[in-house]
Structure 1
Amino acid sequence: MAVQRRRLKLGVTVLTINLFIFILIFRHSSQDKNGRHSVRIPSEPFWAKLLPNSAYWNRLQQIQDLQNNPILTANLSDTGLPYWATETNLSSEPCKHNNRVTTQVKDYNSLPSRFKDFLLYMHCRSYPLMVDQPHICKEPPFLLLAVKSQVSHFDRRQAIRQSWGGAGVVANKTVVTVFLLGNATAWDHHPDLSSSLQDESNRHNDIIQWDYRDSFFNLTVKEVLFLEWIQTRCPNARFIFKGDDDVFVNTYRILDFLKGLSEPKARDLFVGDVITEAGPHRDKKVKYFIPESMYVGKYPPYAGGGGYLFSGDIAARLRSVSQHVPLYPIDDVYTGMCLKKLGLAPEKHKGFRTFDIEEKYRSNPCAYKSLILVHPRTPQQMIQIWTWLSSPDLNCQ
C-alpha cells in the first residue's frame, strides 16, 4: 500500500513539472525579447486581389460565382465588387445578340462562324415551344426516354418507336418516349419539313420542338430547355434516359438495372460512359475545337452525350444549378460542369458503349443482352437488335 502511494505521489509530481515547463515555453513563444507580446504580421495578403480570368467562359463563371456568393452579397454592395464582376446579365426575353462579346473575346474576329454565332447568343436560355405534349406524363412514368433528334431524322425516330423506344408498359414499368427537336429551317436553308413533322406529331404524340437554331453548338440549349420542360410537364418521372437518335438502347436492361438500386443510390443516380482527365481540343479542324480565349483548364468528369441515365431528383437539381453555370458549346461537358457545381460526379457503367463494341461481336445477339447502350447504330440495326432481344428463343447461357 505504501509503495502505491509513493508511485502516485511521483506521478503527480512529474505531471506538475511537465505542466510548468509547457507554460514557460508558451509564454516565451508569445513574447519578444523585451517581454512584450509580439504581433505576427502575415507575409502575404490574406485576400488576393480579384482579377478577371482571361478566358471568356471562365470569366463568366467567375462573375456568376461572385454574384451568387452569399458572404459577398451580404457584406458588400455592388461597389465592393470589382467593376468587371458587376455587369448585369443581358435579358434573354426577347433574345437579342450580345454585341459586346465581339470586344470581350480577344480573337473573336478570327473564330469560326459557329463560334461567333454561339458567343453572340450564349446568354439566351428561353425559346418558345413550337410543338408540345403537355399531357404526355399525365401518369408519371417510371422511365422517361428523351431522345435528341433533328427535324429531318424521320427514319431514326420511327425505328426507335419500333424498337427500344416503344412507349407503354415494359417489364411491368411505365415508359414514356419524347423526341427533342429545334428548328433548322429558318437559318440553315433546309427544306421546310414542318408539315411532315406536324403529321408525325399528330400520329405519335411524342415530339417536343423549340424555336431555336438546331446546331451542334446549340445542343446545350436543348439540354437546359429540356430540364425546364421536365419540371413543367414531367416532374414526377422516376428516371430519365437522355441520348442521341443513333444509339441502340437495351430498355429491358435499364429497367432490370433500376430495380436493383437502393433508395439512396436511386436518388443520386447519374451513370454513363464517363470521361475523365479530358480537356478542350485546340485543333481548329476538330469538331470539338475550343479556343483558349473561350476556356482554360480541364473538364470535370462527364458522361458521353451518346446517352446517360439519371434520376428525376437529379434532373430537378440540374435544372436549378444550370441557371448559375454559363452555357458551354459542348452539351455533355456542360452537364458535367453542372454536376460538379452540385458536388456530384457521374458514375461509370460498363454497360454504356459509346465507342461501340468489337466488330466480331456486333452480329451476336447475346453481345447486347447485358449492355445498356451501343453507339452508333442505323435504324435497320436498331430494329434487328431489338428483335433479337425480344425473342423468347434467345438463349445466352
Structure 2
Amino acid sequence: MFPNAPLYPGPPMQRGGHMPGVRKKGIAFCVMMMLNVVIFLLIGLAWNVRRSQSGRQRVRVPSRRFWRPDVASQSFWNKEQQHLDFLHNPVFAAALAATPPGELPDWLNDTGPPDPCEPDYRVPTQILDYNVLPRLFQDFLLHMRCRRYPLLIDPPRVCEATPFLLLAVKSLTPHFDRRQAIRETWGRAGVVANRTVAVVFLLGSTFGGDHFPDLRGLLRQEARIHKDVLLWRYRDTFFNLTLKDVLFLEWFGRRCPHARYVLKGDDDVLVNTPRVLDFLENVSESRTKDLFVGDVISDAAPHRDKKLKYFIPESVFVGRYPPYAGGGGYLLSGDLALRLSEASRRVVLYPIDDVYTGMCLQKLGLAPQGHRGFRTFDIEDRDRDRPCIYRNLMLVHSRTPQEMLAIWPWVRDPELDCQ
C-alpha cells in the first residue's frame, strides 16, 4: 500500500469506463520504475568494469575539486573542528592522504605543534583579540588540543560491585565541606532501594599561582579515608570543566564500563537519589541505550558580552549551540557514556562543558531529553522551604552543604504527607 493512500472509497466508476487521471499516474509510475532499473544496471556495470584483473575492487579517490573546500572558517574553534571533521571522514581522509602536502590548502597544513600538549603557538596570532581575553581563557586556548594528563589519585574499587547508578560529582580541592555533605546525604554509597550506588568526586589540581592554598596533604588523607576521589594533574579552572568531563569519560571506559547509569552533577546540587532510582526502574529497555535527561536549553547562542562568565568572542566561535542539558546535573545511561567518550575524540574541546556535551551528542545524532525533575536554574523562592517540593524533584541547583543537610531528612521522611 502507498502510505498516503486514502482509507475511504472514492466515487464509483461508470460501468465499462475508466478514470483517465489514474491511468496517466500509473503509466508515469511504470516509466519511473523502468528508469531506476536502467540506472541501477548502469551503475552495476561500471562497478564491475572497475575491478582489477585480480578480482579486487579498486577505490577511486575523489578529485581535489570534489572534496576540498578552499576557504576555512575565520573563527579558531570552527576552523579546528573543520580540520578534525576531515580527519575523521573516511572519504576525505583517503583523499587527504593521497594529496601531496604542497597541494593542500594552507589551513589544512596549519595543524600547530606536533605535540598537542605543547602550548599552541598559533593561538595568539590567529585569535585577534587574544590579548584582551581573561587569563584563564587564554590558558584554555593555548592547551585546547591536549587531553593527556596524569591521573594522580585513582581509587581502584569504586566500581567493584558494578553499580546500577554511578554518581560522578565535579568538585574542587578546597570544597571538603561540600563533598562531606554529599557523602552524608544524596551521595551515600552502598545499596539504596535494592540498587547498588557508587560515588566518585572528579578533581583537577590547584596551584598557588591561582591563589589556592596547598591542600594536597589534606586531599590525600581524604582520598585514603573515603576512597572516592579522582585527581588529575591539570589546572582546575572553569574553562577546564570540559577537560574534566573528557577525562572522566575515558576513566569510565577503563574502570567502570558496566555501570548501568551515570548521574553527572556539580558539588553544589541536591539530588533526590531515591527519586532518580525510581525513575530509572521505569525506563524501558529500548530507551535505556540512548537515555540522556536533564534541564534542556535549546536554540542558544554564544554570549558576546565581555562581562559575562560565559563570554565567547566571534574570533573563537561562530554559530548556534545544539540542544544541551544544563551542566549542574544530568542523567545518562552507561552505554551512552561509552559512546560519548568515543564521540568526544571527534569534537574539539570547547570552554563551556555543558555545551560541549551537547556537541558530542549531536555527533551521535542524539539530543538530550528535558525532564521537569531537573532544576539547574533552581525553583521559585517561595518553594525553597517546602519539604514536599523536593520529593518530586530529581536534582536542584544550587544548595550549600548546610542546606543539603537540612533538606535531606525531608526527602527521606517516611511520615511526610505530600498528598
175-184 or 384-393, larger mean C-alpha shift: 384-393
Q: TM-score, normalised by structure 2?
A: 0.82
**Structure 1 residue corresponding to 2:278, chosen from 249, 256, 261:** 256
Residues 343, 134 of structure 1: alpha-carbon distance in 2 compared, 3 angstrom cutoff: same
Alignment match, 1:83 = 106
How far apart in 1 are the matches of 2:250 and 2:205?
18
Alignment match, 1:134 = 156
How far apart in 1 are the matches of 2:87 and 2:199?
38
On the 8 A contact 1:163/1:386 being kept in 2, the answer is yes
Question: Do structure 1's residue 68 and structure 2's residue 88 form an aligned pair?
Answer: yes
Residues 48, 195 of structure 1: alpha-carbon distance in 2 compared, 3 angstrom cutoff: closer
Unaligned runs of 5+ in 1: 1-5, 24-44
C-alpha deviation, 1:86, in angstroms: 3.5
Residues 392, 340 of structure 1: alpha-carbon distance in 2 compared, 3 angstrom cutoff: same
2:72 counterpart letter in structure 1: P
C-alpha deviation, 1:113, in angstroms: 1.6
C-alpha deviation, 1:111, in angstroms: 2.2
1:299 counterpart letter in structure 2: Y
Residues 91, 252 of structure 1: alpha-carbon distance in 2 compared, 3 angstrom cutoff: farther
- State the Cα deviation string for residues 8-34 of structure 1 (Å, max 9, x = none): 8x999x979x979x99xxxxxxxxxxx
How far apart in 2 are the matches of 1:274 and 1:11?
53
Alignment match, 1:57 = 77
How far apart in 2 are the matches of 1:371 and 1:148?
20
On the 8 A contact 1:388/1:394 being kept in 2, the answer is yes
C-alpha deviation, 1:364, in angstroms: 1.2
On the 8 A contact 1:92/1:126 being kept in 2, the answer is no
How far apart in 1 are the matches of 2:23 and 2:132?
76
Alignment match, 1:387 = 409
C-alpha deviation, 1:188, in angstroms: 1.1
Alignment match, 1:29 = none
On the 8 A contact 2:112/2:120 being kept in 1, the answer is no
Residues 102, 155 of structure 1: alpha-carbon distance in 2 compared, 3 angstrom cutoff: same
C-alpha deviation, 1:112, in angstroms: 2.3
Structure with higher Rg: it is 1
Alignment match, 1:300 = 322
Alignment match, 1:319 = 341
2:414 aligns to what SS in structure 1?
A: coil
C-alpha deviation, 1:92, in angstroms: 5.1
How far apart in 2 are the matches of 1:92 and 1:226?
22
Q: TM-score, normalised by structure 1?
A: 0.87
**Structure 2 residue corresponding to 1:280, chosen from 302, 305, 321:** 302
- State the Cα deviation string for residues 184-233 of structure 1 (Å, max 9, x = none): 12541311111111111111110000011100000011010000010111
Residues 53, 168 of structure 1: alpha-carbon distance in 2 compared, 3 angstrom cutoff: same
C-alpha deviation, 1:109, in angstroms: 2.1
How far apart in 2 are the matches of 1:391 and 1:49?
62
Alignment match, 2:238 = 216
Question: Do structure 1's residue 269 and structure 2's residue 291 form an aligned pair?
Answer: yes
RMSD: 2.5
2:90 counterpart letter in structure 1: P
C-alpha deviation, 1:361, in angstroms: 1.4
2:231 aligns to what SS in structure 1?
A: strand
How far apart in 2 are the matches of 1:15 and 1:111?
70
Alignment match, 1:33 = none
How far apart in 1 are the matches of 2:346 and 2:68?
24
1:285 aligns to what SS in structure 2?
A: coil
1:82 counterpart letter in structure 2: P
Residues 75, 159 of structure 1: alpha-carbon distance in 2 compared, 3 angstrom cutoff: same
1:281 aligns to what SS in structure 2?
A: coil
Between the aligned residues of both structures, percent identity stands at 58
On the 8 A contact 1:248/1:373 being kept in 2, the answer is yes
Unaligned runs of 5+ in 2: 1-14, 32-64
Alignment match, 2:169 = 147
C-alpha deviation, 1:84, in angstroms: 1.1
1:208 counterpart letter in structure 2: L
How far apart in 1 are the matches of 2:130 and 2:191?
51
2:91 counterpart letter in structure 1: I
